[in-house]
Amino acid sequence: MGWRSGTGRLARQQPAALIGSIPRLGETWLPVGRKALVGAAYLAPVDLVRPLVPEELEFIPVLPGRTLATLFIADYGPGSTLEYHELGLQPALVRFRGVAAAWNSLLLVDSHASVQGGELLGFSKRLASFDWREEVGPGGRASGECLVRLNEQEVVRIRYRQGRMPLPGVPVQAMTIRDDMVLCFRNRLRGRYRWSHVEIEPTQDGPAGIIGGFGRPILTGVATGYQGVMGDAVRALGFLAHRHPG
């Protein structure tokens, strides 16, 4: 199917990009965790996060006036398509033409190749630095602290201690806009997910400062030994005529 041959599914069970290469549309990319995957979920006020979401996308409320927001940090190590650290903020759950997915408003990485790959797929990524220390204690449970900086300015500090209570892993869909096309990517990760203690301290006037207006997270988790497939199913949901690149 050509890029402009219509909407619908672009690919399923796509071939994986070669290790060390930049994934392109039509290729999956494979993350293999080195340090933990740390995440938190919030009930964010729709009015607060509205400026972070394109106007063409519809908010999905999970409570009156609230949508689901998430934040994560991850460390993709040996065996991954590309090795790098990543911080992601998804301020809202959105819908476009009947398809629901998370919208990314902030993606920070420490890999030029990841930035380039993101541009090809519609993900806007920025270069940042990660100061991350982690220890693994009894039972293989991880604890640590990560400080993320953008242009030498602190963005967020995250502390975590993995718990014992298991959490289920679920497929996650992410929505992007590439030129004038709305795309939806399905991502799958498996690992040892645990309900965990996570502290997130954003810099108030930084790019993640909006988290301070979300209130306490409704769920915090840490996963170790994770790996999976990103972009294993991609759907082209439609064109935005007023954004036509030509």
Q: For 92-147, what is each residue's pLDDT tens digit?
A: 999 999 999 999 999 999 999 999 999 999 999 999 999 999 999 988 999 999 99
Q: What is the pTM of this model?
A: 0.91
Whole-number pLDDT of residue 245: 56
Q: CATH assignment of 8-239?
A: 2.40.400.10
Nearest to 75 by CA among 118, 126, 27, 109: 109
Phi first, then psi, for residue 52 (nearest 5°) are: -90, -5
Q: For 19-62, what is each residue's pLDDT tens digit?
A: 999 998 888 999 999 999 999 999 999 999 999 999 999 999 99
pLDDT band at 242 (very low <50, low <70, confident <90, very high): confident
Comparing 155 with 9, which gets the higher pLDDT?
A: 155
Q: For 168-181, what is each residue's pLDDT tens digit?
A: 887 889 999 998 99
